[in-house]
Each structure stands twice: as structure tokens, then as C-alpha cells.
């Protein structure tokens, strides 16, 4: 572990180079405020300000604190844009969290300029208002030894595919990792604790006020109160897949610790080859829309769940799904137990003792086939129909994807023109398709 810590620790030369860009960014944001005649201040935040960034992976967050009442999407973005312009930033992009911000590259380093409000603690207006308080809190608690532990924890989570709170990943944010490592004192201690976490467990770093009840977000498996705002659950964005991968990978590491856990995803079970899963798969490929990544992946995951539910309603059992991307396309592969089905269909009816419902069911079933009654007294109608293929079902569904599968409206256009490949065809398709099949084979949702 000491060797890994040394490798992840930024060198003095890198610290000096990144520090120069950070100073330039801070000065540019202050100058942008003056140029636009806005009252406010600029502060550094995130992993650079906390001193928890990994060697070779520096990024700089500049928070522009504006007076309440200023429009963050108007004046706030103007300040961000002016600051990046002063820095001579390249590849400037508009991104979204709960409100938009701008990012760009300066000297090869990612710089994000995030507008927020200058408010008293607890009087939050935007989600980003807490960030300066996060930095203030962590700087009062972090030591160099804990920073080393945070870096190895982040490296472990990056390698296992569970780092990042963005919708694409739905994993552990940098701040969540910092809080958890502070709570347990190190990565190994965090791993050991994680293997015993219970559903809905409250993992508080600070003592909670007497009688305090943290908010329960739907679907949140762990509750990690934010030390600067205990009502906020830092674990709310962590998906079951990401939490499960972290716990299972932690167990595997504790049983047999080795350096490769910090470099690549540890297989759970024995991985397959893409050729093994391709024969029972359907892969849908869309042209990548020009949308901010968080919006795009939120729409995509929602659409994939809709596709899965639709195929299951048509008699197909979707075992797993995974997504992959290249520069131009995004592919989603679904693994099914079979690609054609349902010559014989059973339609579930009421209990035989429910008189009115029984009569309606018999009338509706007519002479389409025999009526079966199971051991529990439940009625079923039997229909002999032609076999259906999952490929044909999905092709028909994407002609009207919003209505039929509940797809996101933002993806309607690219879905209507999507290509659908069955079986081994996908291995000869786009790189994104090969990646999504690799995700199915390896047990990861994103490749």
C-alpha cells in the first residue's frame, strides 16, 4: 500500500505547475467579477483545494460566490465565461449539476468555474453554496496521512468503476470519499466497515443533534449526512450497482490484497468473453446527441430501463444490460435468456371464486384457447400464437419510443434512427457496441 500511496502522491514539480494554473484561475475569476461590475469573490474548492488530487489527474474548481438575487444562469455564467476567456481556456463546455457551470482546459488541466451564492451556513439557495463550507471544513480536519488514504481510496474506486457522482457513473463523489475516509481513518478500515454495512444505515462523521432524523431519499441504500448540512445525504446518488461493486471489490481485496485493484476492475466471479454473451444479446446503437453529459446519461439510463421493462412485458427475460461509447456513438447491449419466444402464451386472470371478475375474464378470453386453473385457484387463458423475436419487438417499439417504451423525449430522434444488431453482428459493429458487449461479459454497466 505504501508503494501505491507514493505513486499517487503529486510530485513537488507537479504541485508547482498545477498551483500556477490554480493561481491564474483564481485571479481570472476575480478579474471577471470586476470587469462585469458584480459584487462577489472567487475561492478554490474541490480536490485541488483539499490537497487530495491524484498525481497526473489534477483538476481545479473555482467557485464564484455571488450575492443572493443574482441569476446564476445569466450573470453567473457570464462571470465563468469571462474568467475562462481571460485564462485563454480551450474546449470550453457548458455542464450541469443542479444548475449550469463552465469548464475548459488551461495548460492541459481541467478548470471548472462554478457560480454559487455567498450565504450563511444553512441558508442554502443553490446546491453549490455548500462547497466553500466543504473546503473550510476539510482543511480543518485533513492531515497529510489522511490525504494519502483518500488518494488510494479514490484510485481504488476509479479502477473499480464506481468513482464519480455524475449520472453516467452514479458512484461515489470525491467529497463523499473524503468524508468516509475521515470517518473510518483509512481505506482498509473503510473497506472493512463497508462489508458490514446494513441497508439504510446512517454513516455519520459528526455526532448528529439529539432527535435528528436524516432525510430518507427513495432508493438510497446508505445515508451519509453532510458534515456541513446533516439534512443532506451524500450517499443519495450512489446506485445499488456502484455500492455493490465497492463492497464486493473490498471483500476481494481484503481477502487477497494486490496492486492491480488500483489499476483495473476486479472481476466478480469468472469473466466471460464478448463472444460468449453476444449470441443472446441485442445491441442498440445511437448517434451521440450534442447534449451535456449529465443530461444525456440521465435520459439514456431512463430509456434503457424502459426498453428492459417493455421487452419483459412482451415475454422476454432481460438478464442484464450494459452501455459503451466511442467518440461518435453510444451502444446499449441487453442480454436475454432467449431471442425469440412465446408460441404459447399464458394470460393471468382472477381467482376462480371472484364471480364478476371470472365472468369478465371468460368473456374476454372467448374461444382463443383453453382456460387453465392452477393449484391456487388462479385462472389463466392459453393462446397459441406465432413466435416473436426480440429484435422485431424492439424495432417496432423505437418507431414511437416515448409512447411505447417510455423513452426520454430528448432521445426520441436518435432512437427512431437507431441501428439494432442481434447476436454476433454487434462484434463487427462500432467500437461502442464491442464495449457494451464487453461490459455484459465482464459484469459492468459502463464500458
Does residue 86 register a pLDDT over 80? yes
Question: How far is it, in rounded angstroms, from Cα 263 to Cα 265?
Answer: 7
Confidence at residue 218, expressed as pLDDT on a 0 to 100 scale? 63
The torsion angles phi and psi of 110, rounded to 5 degrees, stand at -70, 130
Q: Which of 141-155, 200-214, 279-293 has the lowest mean pLDDT?
A: 200-214
Domains of the chain: 1-128 (3.30.460.10), 141-269 (1.10.1410.30), 274-340+388-442 (3.30.70.590), 344-384 (no CATH)
Residues that constitute the known binding site for Mg(2+): 59, 61, 112
Please say whether the beta carbons of 108 and 93 come within 8 A: no
Among candidate residues 36, 57, 171, the one with its CA nearest the CA of residue 444: 171
Residues forming the annotated binding site for CTP? 47, 134, 154, 163
- Least Cα distance to 242 among 307, 338, 177, 334 occurs for 177
Q: Write out the H or E segment, with its range, that includes residue 305.
A: helix 293-313
Q: Secondary structure of the chain: what % helix, strand, coil (to 5)?
A: 45, 20, 35
The three three-digit cell numbers of residue 309, written as one number: 421493462
Q: What is the pLDDT of residue 326?
A: 92
CA neighbor of 394 nearest in space, from 339, 446, 343, 330? 339
DSSP-assigned beta bridge partners for residue 384: 344
* Among 304, 308, 271, CA closest to 286: 304
Q: Poorest-confidence range of 5-14, 19-28, 283-292?
A: 283-292
Strand, coil or helix: 346: strand
Comparing C-alpha atoms, which of 159, 168, 172, 167 is closest to residue 47?
172
Least confident of 202-216, 321-335, 417-431: 202-216
Burial class of 346 by CB neighbour count within 10 A (0 to 12, 13 to 18, 19+): middle
What are the DSSP calls for 84-120, one per residue?
HHHHT-EEEEEEESSSEEEEEEETTEEEEEEEEE---
C-alpha cell at 377: 385457484
Binding residues: 47, 59, 61, 112, 134, 154, 163
Angle, vertex CA 340, rays to CA 338 and CA 341, nearest 5:
95
53-56 long-range Cβ contacts below 8 angstroms, 24+ apart: 53/10, 53/18, 53/151, 54/8, 54/10, 54/151, 54/154, 54/155, 55/7, 55/8, 55/9, 55/10, 55/11, 55/14, 56/14
Contact 197, 247 (CB under 8 A): yes
Q: Would you put residue 53 in left (φ > 0), alpha (ψ -120 to 50) or beta?
A: beta
Q: Using CA atoms of 4, 175, 147, 48 in order, give the dihedral in degrees to the nearest 10.
A: 100
- Give me the pLDDT at residue 429, please: 78
Consecutive H or E run containing 50: helix 46-50
Confidence category of residue 216, pLDDT binned at 50, 70, 90: low
Position 103 confidence tier, pLDDT thresholds 50, 70, 90: very high
The per-residue pLDDT for range 141-185, each reduced to its tens digit, is 999 999 999 999 999 999 999 999 888 888 999 999 999 999 999
- Number of residues written out for the chain: 447
Task: State residue 214's pLDDT score.
Answer: 65
pLDDT level of residue 217 (50, 70, 90 thresholds):
low
Query: What residues pair up with 272 in beta bridges, in sequence order?
Result: none
pLDDT, tens digit, 9 for 90 and up, residues 300-336: 999 999 999 999 988 899 999 999 999 999 999 999 9
d(CA 49, CA 72): 23
In this prediction, residue 212 carries a pLDDT of: 73
Residue 113's pLDDT band (boundaries 50, 70, 90)? Answer: very high
Per-residue pLDDT tens for 359-411? 888 888 777 778 888 888 998 888 777 778 999 999 999 999 999 999 989 89
Amino acid at each position: 500500500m505504501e508503494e501505491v500511496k507514493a505513486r499517487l502522491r503529486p510530485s513537488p514539480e507537479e504541485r508547482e505547475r498545477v498551483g500556477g494554473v490554480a493561481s491564474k484561475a483564481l485571479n481570472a475569476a476575480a478579474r471577471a467579477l470586476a470587469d462585469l461590475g458584480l459584487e462577489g469573490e472567487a475561492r478554490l474548492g474541490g480536490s485541488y483545494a483539499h490537497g487530495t488530487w491524484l498525481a497526473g489527474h489534477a483538476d481545479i474548481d473555482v467557485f464564484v460566490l455571488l450575492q443572493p438575487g443574482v441569476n446564476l444562469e445569466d450573470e453567473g455564467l457570464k462571470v465563468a465565461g469571462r474568467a475562462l476567456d481571460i485564462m485563454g481556456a480551450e474546449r470550453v463546455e457548458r455542464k450541469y449539476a443542479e444548475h449550469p457551470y463552465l469548464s475548459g482546459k488551461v495548460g492541459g488541466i481541467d478548470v471548472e468555474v462554478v457560480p454559487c451564492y455567498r450565504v450563511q451556513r444553512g441558508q442554502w439557495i443553490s446546491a453549490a453554496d455548500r462547497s466553500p463550507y466543504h473546503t473550510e471544513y476539510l482543511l480543518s480536519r485533513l492531515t497529510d496521512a489522511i490525504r494519502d488514504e483518500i488518494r488510494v481510496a479514490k484510485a481504488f474506486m476509479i479502477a473499480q468503476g464506481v468513482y464519480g457522482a455524475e449520472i453516467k457513473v452514479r458512484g461515489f463523489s470525491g467529497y463523499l470519499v473524503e468524508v468516509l475516509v475521515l470517518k473510518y481513518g483509512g481505506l482498509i478500515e473503510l473497506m472493512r466497515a463497508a462489508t458490514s454495512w446494513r441497508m439504510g444505515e446512517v454513516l455519520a462523521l459528526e455526532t448528529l443533534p439529539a432527535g435528528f432524523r436524516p432525510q430518507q431519499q427513495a432508493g438510497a441504500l446508505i445515508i451519509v449526512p453532510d458534515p456541513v448540512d446533516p439534512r443532506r445525504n451524500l450517499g443519495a446518488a450512489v446506485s445499488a450497482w456502484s455500492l455493490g461493486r465497492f463492497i464486493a471489490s473490498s471483500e476481494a481485496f481484503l481477502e487477497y490484497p494486490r496492486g492491480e485493484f488500483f489499476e483495473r476492475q476486479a472481476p466478480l466471479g469468472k469473466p466471460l468473453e464478448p463472444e460468449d454473451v453476444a449470441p443472446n444479446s441485442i445491441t442498440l446503437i445511437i448517434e451521440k446527441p450534442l447534449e451535456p453529459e449529465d443530461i444525456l446519461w440521465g435520459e439514456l439510463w431512463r430509456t434503457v430501463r424502459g426498453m428492459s421493462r417493455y421487452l419483459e412485458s412482451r415475454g422476454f427475460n432481460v438478464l442484464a444490460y450494459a452501455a459503451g461509447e466511442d467518440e461518435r456513438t453510444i451502444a446499449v447491449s441487453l442480454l436475454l435468456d432467449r431471442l425469440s419466444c412465446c408460441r404459447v402464451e399464458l394470460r393471468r386472470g382472477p381467482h376462480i371464486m371472484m364471480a364478476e371478475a371470472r365472468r369478465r375474464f371468460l368473456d374476454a378470453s372467448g374461444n382463443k384457447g383453453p382456460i387453465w386453473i392452477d393449484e391456487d385457484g388462479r385462472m389463466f387463458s392459453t393462446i397459441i400464437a406465432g413466435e416473436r423475436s426480440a429484435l422485431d419487438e424492439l424495432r417496432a417499439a423505437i418507431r414511437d419510443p416515448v409512447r411505447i417504451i417510455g423513452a426520454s423525449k430528448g432521445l426520441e430522434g436518435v432512437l427512431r434512427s437507431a441501428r439494432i444488431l442481434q447476436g454476433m453482428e454487434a462484434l463487427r459493429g462500432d467500437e461502442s457496441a464491442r464495449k457494451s458487449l464487453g461490459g455484459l461479459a465482464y459484469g459492468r454497466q459502463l464500458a
